Amino acid sequence: MTTKLNKPHQKHTPLVRPNMGDFGRNELGILGAPCNVIRGLSERWLLLMDDKWKVAYADADHKEDGSVKEMLEGASLQYTDKISHKRIEFKQETTPFSNRTLFNDQDLVLINGNHFKAKKQIVIIHPGKPLDEKLNKLTDVALILLSEHVRIPEFMEAHLPDIKNIPVLALQDEARIISFLTRFLNDTVAPLNGLVLAGGKSTRMQADKGSIAYHGMTQRAYMFEMLSRFCGHVYLSDNSKTGLETIEDKFTGLGPFGGILSAMQSNPNAAWLTVACDLPYLTADTLDYLVKHRNSSKLATAFLDSDNQFPEPLVTIWEPRAYPVMLQFLAQGYSCPRKVLINTDIELLTATDVSEFRNVNSPEERDEALQFFKSENHSF
């Protein structure tokens, strides 16, 4: 008789989850002061911050002081728990899952930490709001603000073993507070990974497009090396055995759309620079321009296509916020990455030479490209 090993039961496929709080990817819960002070500070900071950032504000209703009336000036989205209903006007209960969808487009969510928990916190030491009963909310303190004539209480020093590494500023020092918020946002820009889309069937070419050597090496290897100049990690969206690191297509039958989604599923906390394999004319200068003009506050950064009419989806930087949006398009029956770019908020660039976006899909186009690179001795 044999006995089964006591292994933990895995009911569902394990997935890499986005690094998010209850509202969004980047949250700062402000607590330690009366709610009207938190609201006033948030509004002041929103007015002083660079308007390139999209910053939301989340709060609860305050019937006793009437402080929550209109949307804060400078906020790009505001959520208020009104008890009987939620303002953005809907009545159903919210959950972290619905909140993350609502706040997906935001770079930062400032949260009234007296009412809601947040992934990171700004703690105000204020005489009007003792903190000794809120220590359980101090899970990852990013900044401490001191009101006039107060000091950090001993119980906080005991609760936060790394308190010496937490920056401390005066509550009135707006310039340094805004500088902190700006650095925080810049530091949370997602790292850039690269993806070579090389998994097509090559029906028109009647041969494997990725194995053609326009530049003295296979096109797969050429694009892989080019992306490596700009990305921390590079992968092939390809099931062929090349020796290069690949991401298996988990969304089969969807072409490039499925390859992009598979990459996002493998790492939803990275931005993805995607490049099609069948673009032998594409140069590193064009990718350098794309990376330098990346707008991480948008869903994606893309070029106009060779006809200067629509975004070019296969030379594009997709931000992490694109992942749930692309899944929503898929749920509505659309699997075209260009349609996603056309119908969302993106940074659209004009390339210096749009002829670099010419696809090589047929034997005639392949022979023309081979002759071009042979005669010109082009290399990246």
pLDDT of residue 64: 53
pLDDT of residue 1: 47
pLDDT of residue 380: 46
E strands within 75-172? 77-81, 86-87, 108-112, 120-125, 141-146, 168-170
The residues pairing with 303 across neighbouring beta strands, listed in sequence order, are: 312, 349
User: Checking DSSP bridges between strand 55-60 and strand 120-125, what pairing results, if any?
Assistant: unpaired
8 A C-beta contact, residue 292 and residue 303:
no
Domain architecture of the chain: domains with CATH = 27-187 (3.40.50.300), 192-376 (3.90.550.10)
8 A C-beta contact, residue 118 and residue 28:
yes
Tokens of 378: 């082009």
What's the residue count for the chain?
380
pLDDT of residue 317: 98
Buried residues in 131-156 as b, exposed as e (16+ CB within 10 A) = beeeeebbeebbbbbbbeeeebeeeb
- Per residue in 115-138, pLDDT (tens digit) is 999 999 999 999 888 898 889 999
Q: Residues 6 or more apart from 56 whose CB is under 8 A from it?
A: 23, 24, 75, 76, 77, 78, 79, 103, 106, 108, 109, 110
8 A C-beta contact, residue 284 and residue 277:
no
8 A C-beta contact, residue 320 and residue 25:
yes
Can you list the residues of the chain whose pLDDT is less than 50?
1, 3, 67-68, 379-380
pLDDT of residue 303: 96
Rounded Cα distance between 108 and 300, Å, is: 17
- Per residue in 239-260, pLDDT (tens digit) is 776 789 999 999 989 999 999 9
What is residue 77's three-state secondary structure?
strand
Burial category of 299 from C-beta neighbours within 10 Å (exposed 0-12, middle 13-18, buried 19 and up): buried
HEC letters along 140-160: CEEEEEECCCCCCCHHHHHHC
Buried residues in 260-293 as b, exposed as e (16+ CB within 10 A) = bbbbbebbbbbbbbbbbbbbbbbbeebbebbeee
Provide the whole-model pTM. Answer: 0.88
Sign of the dihedral through C-alpha 348, 351, 355, 358? negative
pLDDT of residue 294: 98
